[in-house]
Amino acid sequence: MNYLSKTIALTMLLSISSSSVFAAGIAKGTSKFVISNYAKTKYPMLMVHGFAGFTRLGTENFGLDYWYQILPDLATNGATVYAAQLSPVESTEIRGEQLLRQVDDVIALTGKNKVNLIGHSHGGPTIQYIEAIAPEKVASLTAVAGAMKGSTIANTISENNLLLPVAKALFNILGPTLTFLEGNTELSINPKNALNSLTTQGLDKFNQTYPTAAIPKNCNDKGQKITANGVYHYSWMGNKQITNPLDIIDTAVIGLSASLMQEKNHDGFVSVCSGNYGQVIRNDYNLNHLDEINQILGLKGIFAPDPVSIYRQHANRLKLEGL
C-alpha cells in the first residue's frame, strides 16, 4: 500500500486531538497511528505561535488548536513535534525568554541537543531571539509569515490617538481571556510592549540588538539560508487577504486588518517584504494570515493549497537536510 493509500485508509481512524499538555506548558503532537517516517526529522520541532496566539483553547478532548490539525499530521508521519505556550500579548524579549525555557524542556524530554523552531507571525522574531542568545540549541528556524521587519498595522495603531486606546483596551481583555481558556493565567499580558515590539521601528531596534544575516537588507535581496553559526533558515507565507467569504471570523479579522495595511503585497497582517527570511520557499501562496495555520477550522479558498501538507513537506525538507 503506497503512502497516499495509507493516508486515505487511516484518516477516519486518526485522533483529532493534537496534544498532551505538560506541566512545562509545551504541548506534544500525538497520533494513534504512524503511517510513515516522511516527517521524521533528526531534531524535534517546536512550533511557536504569534500575537494573540495559544497552544490549545479548551480541554484536551474538546477545544481548538492554534496549529489546527498540523501537529497530529506531523506526528502521524513520524515527527516529534511540540507547540510552545507563550504570552499572547507581550514583548518579543519576554516571549523569547519563555520560549527558551521550553526549548530546554524539549531538549530534556527528547534527549536531543537541538530543536527545529517554526514561528508564525510574531513567532518569527521570537525564534530569532533564541538563535541570538543560544545558537547552540537551534538546528533550524522557519518563519511562517514572520513579522521579521514589523507590521504597518502596529505602526498605524501606535500612531493613531483614537485607535491606540481602543486597541489596548481590547488586548487587555483578549490576552487574559486567551490565557484563561488555555489554562495558564500566569502568562504576562502587556499590550504596549507587544505593539511596540511589532512596529517597524521596534523591529528595526530588535534586529540591531539581535542581528541575523537571514533577514535581507531590502525586499530585492536574499537572506542567508545557512548563517555563520551553522543554523538553517527558511520562510514561507501567503499574499492573499479574503480567501473564503464563508469563513466569517477569518474574513472579519483579516478584512479589518487589511484595511490598515499600507503595503499592497501582504497576507492581511504581514507584508511579503517583512516575511522574507532565509531561503524563501514561497511567498505567494493563495492563503491569508490565518489560513497559514489552517484557521479558522481549516476553512480556506477553493483553490488554496492545504496548509497541513505544507508543514508536512517542510518537515521532510528538514529531514533531507539532516536536521
* Alpha-carbon span 34 to 299, nearest angstrom: 26
57 sits in which H/E element: strand 56-58
Burial 254-270 (b: 16+ CB within 10 A, else e): beebbebbeeeebbbbb
Is 289 a catalytic site residue?
Answer: yes
- Angle (CA) 283 287 289, round 5°: 90
Instruction: Given the residues 31, 87, 121, 257, select the one marked as catalytic.
Output: 121
Q: What is the DSSP string of 184-212?
A: -TTS---HHHHHHHHSHHHHHHHHHHS--
Instruction: Given the residues 250, 267, 274, 314, select the one marked as catalytic.
Output: 267
**Grid coordinates representing 24?**
512545562
Closest CA to 181 of 22, 57, 270, 302: 57
Is the preceding peptide bond at 296 cis, omega within 30 degrees of 0? yes
Rounded to 5 degrees, φ, ψ at 219 are -65, -20
Is 5 a catalytic site residue?
Answer: no
* Alpha-carbon span 168 to 152, nearest angstrom: 17
Longest Cα–Cα distance of the chain, Å, equals: 62
* Alpha-carbon span 128 to 303, nearest angstrom: 32
Instruction: Given the residues 31, 289, 291, 314, select the one marked as catalytic.
Output: 289
Name every residue whose Cβ is closer than 8 Å to that of residue 133 and which is 6 or more positions away in sequence.
Answer: 96, 100, 210
**Grid coordinates representing 38?**
516522511
For 206, the 3-state DSSP assignment is helix
* Alpha-carbon span 323 to 310, nearest angstrom: 17
The type of residue at 189 is I
Is 314 a catalytic site residue?
Answer: no
Q: Which residues are catalytic?
A: 121, 267, 289
